[in-house]
Structure 1
Amino acid sequence: MKYKVQIIFRQLLILVCTLVTVIACNEKKAEEAQTPTKPNVLVLLTDQWRAQATGYAGDPNVDTPHLDSLAAISVNFKNAVSGMPVCSPFRASLLTGQRPLTHGVFMNDVQLDTNAVTIAKVFNKEGYDTGYIGKWHLDGHGRLQNVAPGQRRQGFQFWKGNECTHDYNESVYYDNDDPDRKIWDGYDTFQQTDAAIDYIAERKSSKNPFMMILSYGTPHAPYHTAPLEYRNRFDPEKIQLRKNVPDSLQERAKKDLAGYYAHIAALDDMIGKVIKNLKESGQFENTIIVFTADHGDLLGSHGAYKKQQPYEESARVPMLYYIPEKLKIAAGERDALMNSEDIMPTLLSLCNIAIPATVEGLDYRPYMEGKENIGHATLLSCVQPFGQWNKVKHGGREYRAIKTLQYTYARDLNGPWLLFDNINDPYQLFNLVGNEGYRTLQDELEKQLSHRLKETGDEFLPGMEYIKKWGYPVDETGTVPYTN
């Protein structure tokens, strides 16, 4: 009798264990069904943040603890560039994976073709929820204006933003389909961050993964409009300038850099806030995060301000890719010269989405996996010699440049213009064009540049030829209306 009881007890125990296992498996399957199998994508886009201005890049003036932590677990393309370093061209290349002379946005304040094959349209077709928050600058219909729902939003379903503003306190935005102007309450960097966190939280219950671009307007000028608590952290007298800022601009540059770093400190806190919320909501390990900027800022270097020129402070941008562990891509620094048009195909590839034939950029996933060796050189260019920050009197001109891991070589319409050894001369103080000791090198880089231009179909015509080709308006002086 005792033996029979033991057998029955064992059978009951096996049955209970089986039921527990079945229940646990069903719960796991239910949980997996609610979790998108494809990764989410979050692009943190900033405006005018030069690559040198982070703690992890070694800037002595600013601490960026949240970005430093992100960099430590990310792929860091330390030589990434903005191929045409000015706002709208970068943004159009980000959205289309094309170079500016292909998509036509080679200057600010013109509209990206509404028929373009964009990153949002592609992700939509793959079942993603798509959202955009912040500065757009691709509509060409006037600043502070609503980018109307429909084709002009280039496929983004969720929307909280405006065409362009550089007023970062109580600034204008539009909320999805509502045509009435709204005002961000206070510093828009804070409010845009909260809007992004709300969007991400709402996606938690969705069966679809999300792809969102959070587009901040800072640290672009005006430099002195961050909240007081951040401005108080930076004393202009203690700012350490780069060695290429001339004496005549040093006082101004120190003051402006103090404000620039105040914006950066605020952004760093907000990026930390977004990442903290992703972790708390359980979405961090299924989200690809890209942190970058549309271009840099000279801030006195080479005697100039803002962007458009081929110098390091203008053309180099931060480029971090946090990639979930399941994709088995090791974090760490990479040398490759990732360019603006490379972001879209790389993100699509990381999500196992087919790259459209319209895309010209490189897919860097195989490179990150150690399967390909690419990105040894890339192009920089400027079509517009009449922009506010690229006028001839500021040293600006139309140019085409090739950037390698060591050198920057630029040609203007009259011939060779700049040649820098960026390793031995990191502040680009010594122009080697015409230097007898570098004649062979100059000729070799000229051949490389000519080959790249031929390969990309760039005839390097005067800027006005491209203006005429695309039918953009000119004012009574014969130049294109432009703002910064």
Structure 2
Amino acid sequence: MTSTSGADRTNVIVFFTDQQRWDATGAHGAPRDLTPNFDRMAAEGVHVYNSFTCQPVCAPSRASLQTGRYPAQVGCFRNNIPLPEDTPTLADRFNEAGYDTGYIGKWHLGDTDTAGPVRPEQRGGYRDWLASNLLEFTSDAYETTLYDGDGRARELPGYRADALTDAAVDYISRERDAPFLLFLSFLEPHHQNQRDDYPAPEGYAERYAGTWTPGDLAALGGNSAEHLGGYLGMVKRLDECLGRVLAALNEQGLAENTVVLFTSDHGCHFKTRNAEYKRSCHDASIRVPTVLRGPGLDTGRPLQRLVSHIDLPPTLLDAAGLKVPEEMDGRSLLPLVRREADDRPDDVLVQISEAELGRALRTPRWKYGVVAPDADAWDTPAADRYVDAYLYDLHDDPHELHNLIADPACAETAAAVLDPLRKRLAQRLAETGEYPVIEPAR
């Protein structure tokens, strides 16, 4: 399948942020001046209101977005495992359809000993390349080094998110005969690893310090008091960058035939659930902001059904009029967007690694999580035995402050709901080829 002209075909842009909580958007309760461009997309397009990562850590979540499969099934069940070179990716599918495919920013799916350049065979099929494997280690807020298709270092001026946006606007503005897929992958609002801080553009941290605190952080604290201003300042700049990308599409006359997906790889709990920022089953880790706009997607209706990252790659293919491969674990969202009859479940499966080896089921009301108490969470992709560890009633406890499994006074309530949740989790695991024993907590 090839194309000689991209004028009447659908382009696709993925605007991908790193470690952004779902509620760090005005559409989800943050200050309304924080994300006006995201909020406008949500109001005019398809706001995926309940959107969840498959795995709340960088490389696994990225593997799922590139493949439409669960991270443990791809093999990337934790960081420092490269995406297998023979794994079909989103770029491969678009390449086959005659698209130009470009990647800009953070990759995090290459060789574990390489922070900067990525070998061509590890670039997931993307043909136009300006990226770093671990952007957090080859850049700082105002020092950005990316590597081009020949592996040469390129120093980009200005604030890091602005530098990536400059490159994206350049890519969008090029003359071409084919439609394009552009994956634009930021580091913001991820912390700067070397210093464990959140470097916003100059003056932005001060603008948002002390202005607003999500409910879980107000109750649990962590290091949010120190870092939330910088974090929100980074989110603000990302939204300004989103506005620039959308404006570039308008200026080039491409807005009407370009699908834009905004999403993030995982959230950020500010060291309230473990010793770092993610890798837990809580919504602060797994729930992310997601919105779609473009041909067939400008409905202005929110999508309330629970959606997993594995559903986004087939959605992009479907929206571009391309076939969705059977091996993808997810399903296109377009039937839901069109309000067609659909039998998909209203729950999502989440895989956990590194901090603990676990699995979680998120339903509209319940958060149920299990852990493998005897497993090495770094070297083990899955376990034969899990034990109940988390149960939250999200209707009564939306900030997940009261773990019912850990409270003897709630044993009767927990017992009434745990059995069907265990059975449902076992069903979801079986769909991925896992058949563990799930035991009650002692």
* TM interval, short-chain normalised: 0.7 to 0.9
RMSD: 2.1
How do 1:59-70 residues align onto structure 2 when only pairs under 5 Å count? Answer: 59-60=30-31, 63-70=34-41
Structure 1 counterpart of 2:148, which letter? D
CA contact (8 A) 1:246 1:301 kept: no
SS at match of 1:424: coil
Query: Which residue of structure 1 lines up, in the alignment, with residue 369 of structure 2?
Result: 410
More displaced 10-residue stretch of structure 1: 288-297 or 301-310: 301-310
Residue aligning to 1:323? 294
Q: Larger Cα Rg: Structure 1 or Structure 2?
A: 1
Q: CA deviation at 1:180?
A: 2.5
Give the gaps of 5 or more residues in structure 1.
1-32, 391-396, 463-484
- Tell me the CA shift for residue 301 of structure 1: 3.9
Distance in 2, Cα, partners of 1:60 & 1:84: 28
* Matched-pair contact (CA < 8 Å) for 1:49–1:296: yes
Q: Secondary structure at the match of 1:127?
A: coil
Residue of structure 2 aligned with 1:234, choices 201, 205, 208: 208
Specify the alignment match of 1:89 in structure 2. Answer: 60
Q: Which amino acid aligns with 2:359?
A: R
Question: Which residue of the partner structure matches residue 378 of structure 2?
Answer: none
**Aligned CA distance change for structure 1 residues 121 and 157 (closer, same or farther; 3 Å):** same
Q: Which residue in the other structure is 2:413 paired with?
A: 437
Deviations 1:415-474 (A, max 9, x none): 111111112211011212262023221111111011111222124599xxxxxxxxxxxx
* Change in CA separation of 1:224 and 1:84 when aligned onto 2, cut-off 3 Å: closer
Q: Which amino acid aligns with 1:378?
A: V
Name the CA distance, whole Å, in 1 between partners of 2:437 and 2:126: 34
Matched, 1:271 2:246: no
Instruction: Say whether 1:345 aligns with 2:317.
Output: no
C-alpha separation in 1, matches of 2:81 and 2:153: 22
SS in 1 for 2:163: helix
Distance 1:84 1:319, change over 3 A: same
* Partners of 1:164 and 1:291 in 2: CA distance: 21
Quote the residue 2:181 is aligned against.
Answer: 211
- For residues 168 and 318 of structure 2, the distance between their equivalents in structure 1, rounded to whole angstroms, comes to 24
CA distance in 1, matches of 2:8, 2:125: 22
Matching residue of 2:252? 281
8 A Cα contact 1:301 1:313, kept in partner: no
**SS across alignment from 2:434:** coil
What stretches of structure 2 of length at least 5 have no aligned partner?
374-386
On the 8 A contact 1:78/1:333 being kept in 2, the answer is yes
Deviates more, 1:436-445 or 1:297-306: 297-306
For residue 305 of structure 1, report the CA deviation from its aligned partner.
3.7
Say if 2:17 and 2:263, in contact at 8 Å, map to a contact too: yes
Give a deviation string over 1:302-360, Cα, whole Å, max 9, x none. 46541110101000011101122xx3762321112211211111111111211123211
Q: Is the 8 A contact 1:43 1:213 kept in 2?
A: yes
Conserved? CA contact 1:40–1:211, under 8 Å: yes
In 2, the alpha carbon distance for the partners of 1:265 and 1:163 equals 25
Amino acid paired to 1:429: L
CA distance in structure 1 between the aligned counterparts of 2:126 and 2:289, rounded to whole angstroms = 25
CA distances 1:248-296 after superposition (whole Å, capped 9, x unpaired): x46x312201110111111111111111111121101110000000000
- Matched pairs, number: 410
The one of 110, 113, 116 equivalent to 1:139 is 110
The question of whether the paired residues in 1 share the 8 Å contact of 2:51 and 2:289 is answered with: yes
Quick one: which amino acid aligns to residue 163 of structure 2?
A: Q
The change in CA–CA distance for 1:297 and 1:460 in structure 2 (over 3 A counts) is: farther
Q: Please give the secondary structure, in 1, of the residue aligned with 2:318.
A: helix
1:452 aligns with 2:428: yes
Secondary structure at the residue paired with 1:296?
coil
Preserved CA contact (<8 Å) 1:245 1:302: no
Q: 1:440 to 1:64 in 2, by over 3 A?
A: same
Give the corresponding residue for 1:398.
Answer: 357
Name the residue aligned to 1:363.
332
Q: For residue 94 of structure 2, give the secondary structure of its aligned residue in structure 1.
A: helix
SS of the residue 1:333 aligns to: coil
Q: Which has the higher helix share?
A: 1
State which of 158, 165, 187 in structure 1 corresponds to 2:135.
165
SS in 1 for 2:248: helix
Structure 1 counterpart of 2:383 = none
TM-score, length-normalised on structure 2? 0.88
The answer as to whether partners of 1:61 and 1:239 remain within 8 angstroms in 2 is no
In structure 2, C-alpha distance between the alignment counterparts of 1:238 and 1:329, rounded to whole Å: 32
- Identical-residue share of aligned pairs (%): 33
Query: Aligned-pair distance for 1:142?
Result: 2.5
Q: Please say if residues 329 and 368 of structure 1, whose CA atoms lie closer than 8 Å, have aligned partners that are also in contact.
A: no
Note the C-alpha offset of 1:300: 4.3
Is this contact kept in 1: 2:45–2:298, CA < 8 A? no
Moved more, 184-193 or 52-61: 52-61
